[in-house]
Structure 1
Amino acid sequence: MTVPVLVTGLGVVAPNGLGVDAFWSATLAGHSGIAPLDRFDAGRYPASLAGQIADFDAAAHLPNRLLPQTDVSTRLALAAAEWALRDAAVGADDVPDYDMGVITSNASGGFQFTHGEFRKLWSQGPQFVSVYESFAWFYAVNTGQISIRHGMRGPGAVLVAEQAGGLDALGHARRTARKGTALVVSGGVDSSFDPWGWVSHLASGRVSPVADPHRAYLPFDTAASGYLPGEGGALLVLERADAVAHRGAPRVYGEIAGYAATFDPP
């Protein structure tokens, strides 16, 4: 008999709320988090609204040693993972290190970090480029940093995807747990709000040019004019039902009962 895979912890970093409670309260109140970009001068571009996280203080959530070696997307992912594990009440010795895995998804890697280092390379020379550039830009860095920080030595993977990438990661995490891994931290976190990352979004021709934050993003509406990029995401703690019973997890949010994937037609 296949062992069910359960969700026991949630961690959310979103433009309209940091943490599950703040995010859900804002969602119920209809607060979207859409606002003008302010990390660079976006006024000269055809679109300037996005879902930007404005109140995240990385230094308040991460050790100082991690700050110079991480992109903003990795900092958000590390915070979400910590909150999810805390929500699941996973103690340091509750699960063997080789029985915990990490599977994440993102679309762009450490855009802001690597473009800052490229700027140093072009303007100052290679000796000014951070040694952390070797991995801080990489798509797999969120999986790696989470696994290192929490001693998770089990299966690790990254899905380089967009749109439903976070859901694809959960599907892969479910398969991993069903094959025997007791606990998997999984989901998707992303950010690409520097000029280079913003232009990559605009190149699709699908970003909404509407200047009114209340009218720019209207999915499933006849007045829909495109999408708006956002940053952040969510990470979940997934556990096999037998592992949940063994460690006495305080709550179960639900079961990942199935998974399927399709594609966007032309």
Structure 2
Amino acid sequence: MSATAVVTGLGVVAPNGLGAEEFWKATLAGEHGIGPVRRFDAAGYPARLAGEVRDFVAEDHLESRLLPQTDYMTRYALAAADWALADAGLDPGELPAFDMGVITASSAGGFEFGQRELENLWSRGSGYVSAYQSFAWFYAVNTGQISIRNGMKGPSGVVVSDQAGGLDALAHARRQIRKGSRLIVSGGVDGSICPWGWVAQLASGRLSTGEDPDTAYLPFDARAAGHVAAEGGAILVVEDAATERPSYGEIAGYAATFDPKPGSGREPGLGRAIRGALGDAGVEPADVDVVFADAAAVPELDRAEARAITDVFGAYAVPVTAPKTMTGRLYAGGAALDLACALLSIRDGVIPPSTHVRLSPEHPIDLVTGQARSATVRTALVLARGHGGFNSAMVVRANHS
């Protein structure tokens, strides 16, 4: 029988809170982390809002030797991993190195670090480019830095599938637990809020150009006009359920699909991913207590997601929420953060709201808006879609008593 993978630790770095509990408190209160871009002068760009992490001072969390070799998103990831391990009550130094692995998701790598070093190359010459540029920009850098910092030499890797990546990475973590690994640090932390990264994100055509932080990102709303880019994410500790440590819940089911070619007549992939994840978990649609939506805030994508949800569950049949309306879309960090939310919902019996959204009548879903909703949450479904056709769905549920 395959081992059961459970989550024993959470570490969060988000635009509306540092640490899982601070983030969760802010999220239940509907506190926003979206505002004007501060990291660079965005006045000349069509999109000028972002979900930026506040009050994170790297020197307070990391050794000085790490600062010259890390992009800011890697610093977030290292801190989140530390917090997740502490939350699980684990000291990696007390465990065999090859029993521990690291699997993270990324969409961009260390863009700000890379931009700075390329500017040095162009303006000053190759002698002024940091040797750390060889890896600080790379997609796998968070996995590498977390594993080195904590002496983790077991199965490791990185997944690149945009917003879907956080779920995909955690699915790989579950696979390694089933194969016999003792502990996998997993999830996603992302961020590319710099001119280079900003231009790349604008190229998708999906960034909101709204000026009001409260209404720039409105999924499932008739006013939906794109998403707000953001930074941060969540790192989770995944272990075998045989551990004696308490856990937040079980990673019970997962499926991933890819959208067919437009015009092919084939079913879009998200509905298939939902059914696949439910089947993998051995649960029926009626067993699901809440759905954490991908929430693209692009009208046609919102319609497709609402249709996929209602095709499986029925109209208005299950509560749906998108707490990322408070943070923006964190790319590879977004789905991991939603999964952390799902586990905290199970723990506390509450569903966080989708803020400032006025549900359009064309979407027959029970969207939780306004305030957090008290509910018995035993089983949660998290959905994520990556630009280019990636679809992932993951079921988490309370531990069996």
TM-score normalized with structure 2 length = 0.64
Matches within 5 A, 1:100-139: 100-139=100-139
Give the AA of the match of 1:54.
R
> Structure 1: how far apart are the matches of 2:152 and 2:145?
10
Letter in 2 for 1:59: E
Indicate the larger mover: 35-44 or 64-73: 35-44
- Structure 2 distance, partners of 1:103, 1:195, is 28
Moved over 4 A (4+): none
For 2:68, the equivalent position in structure 1 comes to: 68
Deviation at 1:220, TM superposition (A): 1.6
Q: Which residue of 2 aligns with 1:261?
A: 256
Q: Indicate the residue corresponding to 1:197 in structure 2.
A: 197
1:102-142 Cα shifts (integer Å, max 9, x gaps): 00001000100011000000000000110111111111110
- Quote the offset at 1:160 in angstroms: 1.6
In structure 2, distance between residues paired with 1:26 and 1:42: 27
For residue 93 of structure 1, report the CA deviation from its aligned partner.
Answer: 4.6
Residue segments in structure 1 that go unaligned for 5+ positions in a row: none
How much is the aligned-residue C-alpha RMSD, in angstroms? 1.0
CA distance in 2, matches of 1:57, 1:84: 18
**What is the rounded CA distance, in whole Å, between the counterparts of 2:93 and 2:61 in structure 1?**
22
- Give, as a single letter, the amino acid of the residue that structure 1 aligns with 2:255: A
User: Which residue number corresponds to residue 21 of structure 2?
Assistant: 21
CA–CA distance in structure 2, aligned partners of residues 92 and 72 of structure 1:
24
- 1:213-252 to structure 2, matched below 5 A, reads 213-242=213-242, 244=243, 248-249=244-245, 251-252=246-247
Cα shift at 1:10 = 0.3
Could you say what secondary structure the match of 1:13 adopts?
A: strand
Structure 1 residues 99 and 53: CA distance shift in structure 2, 3 A? same
Would the aligned equivalents of 2:19 and 2:83 in 1 still touch at CA under 8 Å? yes
Structure with bigger RCO (C-alpha 8 Å, 6+ apart): 1
Q: In structure 2, how many angstroms separate the alpha carbons of the residues matched to 1:263 and 1:60?
A: 41
Q: Which residue of 2 aligns with 1:80?
A: 80
Task: Specify every segment of 5 or more residues in structure 2 that has no aligned partner in the other structure, as ranges.
Answer: 263-401
Using the TM superposition, give the Cα deviation of residue 171 of structure 1 relative to its aligned residue in structure 2, in angstroms: 0.6
| Residue equivalent to 1:211 | 211
Task: For 1:241 and 1:169, locate their aligned partners in 2 and report how far apart those are by CA, in whole Å.
Answer: 19
Structure-2 separation of matches of 1:93 and 1:75: 21
The letter of the residue matching 1:164 is: A
TM-superposed deviation, 1:264 = 4.4
Correspondences of 1:29-178 after superposition (within 5 Å): 29-178=29-178
Distance 1:23 1:264, change over 3 A: farther
Deviations along 1:211-263, one digit per CA (max 9) or x if unpaired, are: 00010001121211111111000010000122x1xxx31x2100001110123
* Cα shift at 1:57: 0.4
Deviations 1:174-195 (A, max 9, x none): 0011011010000011110110
Mapped to 2, the partners of 1:220 and 1:187 lie a distance apart of 26
Percent of aligned positions that are identical? 63
**Cα separation, 2, equivalents of 1:27 and 1:204:** 28
Distance 1:45 1:263 in 2: 32
CA–CA distance in structure 2, aligned partners of residues 260 and 15 of structure 1: 28
Letter in 1 for 2:250: E
Q: Number of residue pairs matched?
A: 261
| SS of residue in 2 equivalent to 1:260 | strand
